[in-house]
Structure 1
Amino acid sequence: MTIQTPVHGLSRQRAPKGRNRIVAVLAFAGVVVSLMHSLVVPLLPRLPEFLTASAADTTWTVTATLLAAAVATPTVGRLGDMYGKRRMLLISMGLLIAGSVVGALSYSLAPLIVGRTLQGLAAGVIPLGISIMRDELPPNKVPGATAAMSASLGVGGALGLPVAALIAQVLDWHTLFWVAAALGTLSFVLVLALVPESPVRSGGRFDFVGALLMSAALVLLLLVVSRGGLWGWYSAVTIGLGAGCLVLWICWIFWELRVGKPLVDLRANSRRQVLLTNVASLIFAFSMLCMSLSLPQILQLPTETGYGLGQSMLVVGLVMAPSGLVMMAVSPLSAWITASAGPKWSLIAGAVLVAGGYSVGLFLMGALWQLVLVSVLVGAGIGLAYGAMPSLIMGAVPPEESASANGLNSLMRSVGTSLSAALAGLVFAQMSMDLNGNPVPSREAFLMMMAVGVAGAVGALGVAAFLPRRKPLRS
């Protein structure tokens, strides 16, 4: 069944200049939030020294953000549908600002993890922004605007790496968090001044039991995926958490099917269009991280390995940055394909480009320009695919459920990246070589990751082939 999007009074008739401001402000907020994911990456090698902690413990500064984002994304989306998307967006930006200030004032591991957790709780900004665009913009403007908002996830992550590396090399590391706080404050003020509250509400009571069960299951899942390699995949801790995760998911499914106003409408999300789009999101995120985990290592490994390029973190960021810029640049193309042929074909085009990019990487990864080419091709493909996904999701759910549906779609991306990180850790550990007494990933390990990227893109192409042919976004 195709869902018809109603025209919501005067909000659809807003002046073009006002609409453009809304899109720009929301996209900027998305970029600021996505910056948080790469904020501490340049710091990881030196965090043990800065915080007087072990290297294993300091990785929690990344894991905590991931866990918080996974829990917040579907929950905040549902709260936005019920109580106001702009309101929840402002709360999310407030949490980001608070987390950034806590991080800026931290000199030990525990408060820094608290700050990074608060930053992760802002992850719901992107699905909330997409839903606000659906409510505020004319139907013909929605695909382009949502494509730009969806691409902001990649843009912030890609640009954050070189900027964070530069700041970390030149200034005190606390400056990174003060910059994040300043950007978050600017975004908060812009949203407060220029973004209206959506009149579309679902009402009802919040599903606290469903939220608790889902949050606990997600935490266990991501702990197993992100820490299983460190603990041992066959250790009692890993197996116990995995079993607990499975039990919690089963309990959550039974609860969501029985409760009147569920956190996630499983029946709506089991529709072919929504289900396949979420599966494709997971696969694309899995495939995208193969590049993010492989290329920086190839760039930084010493030249004596025979394949490493011996570059600095700043050069790594500059090589990876074009992929994020390309994601934003292709968002109008994704919108055009969506409007003229349907979002399915934008998704298919993205899968073809990603597969092509990784195929190039199988043969060319011995020079900077070759790795830039790989990252640009993969980035363009991800941009086309991510630009199509909001249209696919919103074309199959009613307006009052769009934030929670987009939140679940964003969650699938988080799960995909976590699974990719776990696989990469296993591949790099099993396929290594000795360098001056230290194990480093072998050339074959990186070729394996490129092959996995190709396989993921082909898998996403197969999923996209089963999506409906019609253009699904109706207004």
Structure 2
Amino acid sequence: MSRTVPAPSAEDAGRRGSSHGLLLTALIVAVIAFQLGASMVTPALPEIAREFDVSASQVAGAQDLFFLVGGVAGVVLGRLSDRVGRRRILLAAMVTMCLGALIAALAPSVPVLIAGRILQGASGATFPVTYMLLRDTMSPARFGPALGIVTAINGGVGGLDGLVGGIVADTVGFRWIFGAILVVGLTAIVLLRRFLPEAAPKDGRRMDWWGAAALSAALVCVNLALSKGSAHGWSAPLPLALLLAALVLLVVFWQTEKRRTAPLIAIEHLRSRHVWPLLATTLLTLMGVFSAINFTFVLLSQDGEFGYGMSATLSSLLYLTPPAAIGLLSAPLTGWLAPRKGWLVLLRTGLGLSLLILLGTALLPDNRWLLFAAACALGVAYNGLAMTPLNALGVVVSPKDAPGAVPGISAACFGIGASVGIALVAPAAGSGTLGGIEQALWISAGFTFLALLTACVLRLPASEDGDEAQA
């Protein structure tokens, strides 16, 4: 005789909805804490240099190391969370963020400030671990919109974080920026301890530290090569030596993974159409669209000879804040559409639209209002339709035996793509001519076209929740 299982009551459904809301709130506060550490400090760099009476380049090292350490931490700690649990890693990341903020706020010298920023960068696993937690704890219908909200924060807190950072630095000093980050980080710790449930680790096997070390060292060499190449020229011995070292380390990583019984990520997964096209698409998308918005657009708008001659504040308000603010609205909408249209459809649509927008700017770069419209449109096409699926797919395509592998490596591709893109368009965009700006925009459009091609190669693995059907 069959037994009828009663449907959940409205009270039970409401209680679960409230639980998900509180968990999402805790995770949002955590990612805001990390994002503030990434974006609020940038406009304060000149004020920090004046405070310590050093050059701006010396202070810029604090920001470079923050992102470098963050990329390495995303790769290593994302995979480590499979072994020791997501909750433990995320709480440790927030504690490290707070400790780094405290040290930076009280720093008596630049070396101490840099030490604080390195500690803050060690919390770089915050975003990939949050994506995995959303996937672990929420249904597909809830996962999309929730991830869209987090993705919007990853692109900047509505475009206001950098603006507020500049205002705080100008009025009360840069130390209050780190004080604000500390307060948000402590709040995140309290909320995570209260609302983030304990969960059993996904994988009880030993961590592949050799593979993690080889891949991390390769990432460090790539980032240093980009930094030294932009400063000393790409044909200089040091950048070339660093790139060669990175290549050797990647070969070591590949050979190490082939021999490990529990690798960081198995070679067969890296070779599959589920993984390598996603990593390539992420890298190329950042090289293309990010470099255009965050470098070429800004250079064009502020140049007084061939550009628009705007101040830094006006340039930010017209060309940086709109795409971030619009992305804050469009990214959650993309997450809501994903279960209905499919992640791959939305990704390809976003990249296709981004390509068309960049082609328009390359053809008519001297029209400031066209550039403004392009920046706004990229808030939908890039920050919403493209970036949200890229973050989601890092979780969706990750192999069942290593769910923390792809999100961490994908997060590193975001940082490397942004650095490589700016480094490659900088000679053209900084040539001091409108023709150079046009060339830089064509280069960005070319990378975006390649990203669209690799996105068309990408396939989703079959899964129980129907991700393959959504492709």
- TM-score past 0.5 threshold: yes
What amino acid sits opposite 1:301 in the alignment?
D
Using the alignment, how far apart are the partners of 2:462 and 2:257 within structure 1? 30
Amino acid at match of 1:296: V
Contact 2:106 2:175 in 1 (8 A): yes
1:464 and 2:464 are equivalent in the alignment: no
**Matched residues in 2 for 1:444 and 1:376: separation?**
24
Mark the CA change 1:401 to 1:327 in structure 2 (over 3 Å): closer, same or farther: farther
Are the counterparts in 2 of residues 104 and 174 from structure 1 also a CA contact under 8 Å? yes
Shift of 1:399: 4.8
Counterpart-to-counterpart distance in 1, 2:261 and 2:157: 38
Does the CA contact (< 8 Å) of 2:282 and 2:413 recur in 1? yes
Structure 2 contact 99–116 (Cα < 8 Å) conserved: yes
> What is the deviation of 1:124?
0.8
* Cα separation, 2, equivalents of 1:450 and 1:223: 25
**How much does 1:456 deviate?**
2.1
Instruction: Name the CA distance, whole Å, in 2 between partners of 1:13 and 1:443.
Output: 58
Amino acid at match of 1:313: T
Task: Please give the per-residue CA displacement for 1:352-386, whole angstroms capped at 9, x wherever unaligned.
Answer: 22123323423555576544322222222222112
Give yes or no for contact 1:135–1:200 (8 Å, CA) kept in 2.
Answer: no
**Alignment-derived partner of residue 238 in structure 2:** 237
On the 8 A contact 2:425/2:444 being kept in 1, the answer is no
* Amino acid in structure 1 at the alignment position of 2:436: A
Structure 2 residue aligned with 1:443: 434
Q: Is the 8 A contact 1:98 1:118 kept in 2?
A: yes
2:136 corresponds to: 135
> Is the aligned partner of 1:268 residue 2:269?
yes
Instruction: Look up the SS of the partner of 1:219 in the other structure.
Output: helix
Q: Does structure 2 conserve the Cα–Cα contact (< 8 Å) formed by 1:166 and 1:314?
A: no
1:396 corresponding residue in structure 2 = 397
Shift in Å, 1:237: 1.8
Corresponding residue number in structure 2 for 1:299: 301
Please, what is the CA RMSD of the aligned residues? 2.6
Matched letter for residue 299 of structure 2: Q
- SS of the aligned residue for 2:458 comes to coil
Distance 1:351 1:181 in 2: 36
Q: Following TM superposition, by how much is the alpha carbon of 1:154 offset from its aligned partner in structure 2, in angstroms?
A: 0.4
Q: Can you list the C-alpha shifts for 1:199-225, whole angstroms capped at 9, x where unaligned?
A: 352111112222222221111110001
Deviates more, 1:383-392 or 1:178-187: 383-392
Q: Is residue 215 from structure 1 mapped to residue 206 from structure 2 by the alignment?
A: no
Specify the alignment match of 1:354 in structure 2. Answer: 354
Give the corresponding residue for 1:340.
Answer: 340
Q: Which moved more, 1:226-235 or 1:413-422?
A: 226-235
Residue in structure 2 matched with residue 185 of structure 1 by the alignment: 186
C-alpha spacing 1:400/1:324, structure 2 compared with 1 (3 Å): farther
Shift in CA distance, 310/143, structure 1 to aligned 2, threshold 3 Å: closer
Task: Assess if the C-alpha contact under 8 Å between 1:38 and 1:157 holds in 2.
Answer: no
Q: Which amino acid aligns with 2:294?
A: S
Q: Distance in 1 between matches of 2:399 and 2:215?
A: 23
Q: Which residue of 2 aligns with 1:15?
A: 16
Instruction: Indicate how the Cα distance of structure 1 residues 294 and 110 shifts in structure 2: closer, same or farther if over 3 A, else same.
Output: same
Q: What residue is the counterpart of 1:100 in the other structure?
A: 101
Partners of 2:296 and 2:429 within 8 A in 1 = no
Deviation by residue 1:28-55 (Cα, 9 ceiling, x = unmatched): 3223312322233213344433323233
Change (3 A) 1:121 1:177: same
The Cα of 1:470 is off from its aligned counterpart by 8.6
Could you give the per-residue CA deviations for residues 399-428 of structure 1, whole angstroms, max 9, x where no partner exists?
A: 563233211111111110111121133334
* Residue 344 of structure 1, CA deviation: 0.9
Matched-pair identity in %: 24
C-alpha contact 1:257 1:266 (8 A) present in aligned 2: yes
Q: Which moved more, 1:60-69 or 1:45-54?
A: 45-54
* Structure 1 contact 135–198 (Cα < 8 Å) conserved: no
Separation in structure 2 between the aligned mates of residue 369 and residue 180 of structure 1, nearest angstrom? 35
Aligned equivalents of 1:353, 1:107: Cα separation in 2: 48
Moved more, 73-82 or 117-126: 117-126
Letter in 1 for 2:449: V
Q: Rate the CA distance shift 1:376–1:400 in 2: closer, same or farther, 3 A.
A: farther
Q: Does the Cα contact within 8 Å between 2:71 and 2:415 map onto a contact in 1?
A: yes
Residues 265 and 454 from structure 1, CA distance in 2 versus in 1: closer, same or farther, beyond 3 angstroms?
Answer: same
- Equivalent residues of 2:66, 2:120 under 8 A apart: yes
Q: 1:68–1:117: 8 Å Cα contact kept in structure 2?
A: yes
1:226 and 1:364, CA in 2 relative to 1: closer, same or farther beyond 3 A?
Answer: same
**Letter aligned with residue 461 of structure 1:** L
Q: Which residue of 2 aligns with 1:415?
A: 416
Stretches of structure 2 lacking an aligned partner (at least 5 in a row): 1-12, 467-471
The CA deviation at 1:257 is 1.4
Where structure 1 has 5 or more consecutive residues not aligned to the other structure, the ranges are 1-11, 433-441
| Contact kept in structure 1, 2:226 and 2:420, CA below 8 Å | yes
Q: Residue 436 of structure 1 corresponds to which residue in structure 2?
A: none
> In the superposition, relative to structure 1, how do residues 40 and 318 fare at CA in structure 2: closer, same or farther (>3 Å)?
farther
Q: In structure 2, do the counterparts of structure 1 residues 334 and 360 end up closer, same or farther at CA, with 3 Å as the change threshold? A: same
Kept in 1, the 8 Å contact 2:75–2:216? The answer is no
Give, in whole Å, the separation in 1 of the partners of 2:250 and 2:461.
33
What letter is aligned with 1:274? V
On the 8 A contact 2:157/2:328 being kept in 1, the answer is no
Paired with 1:469 and 1:43, the residues of 2 have a C-alpha distance of: 42
Q: Which deviates more, 172-181 or 289-298?
A: 289-298
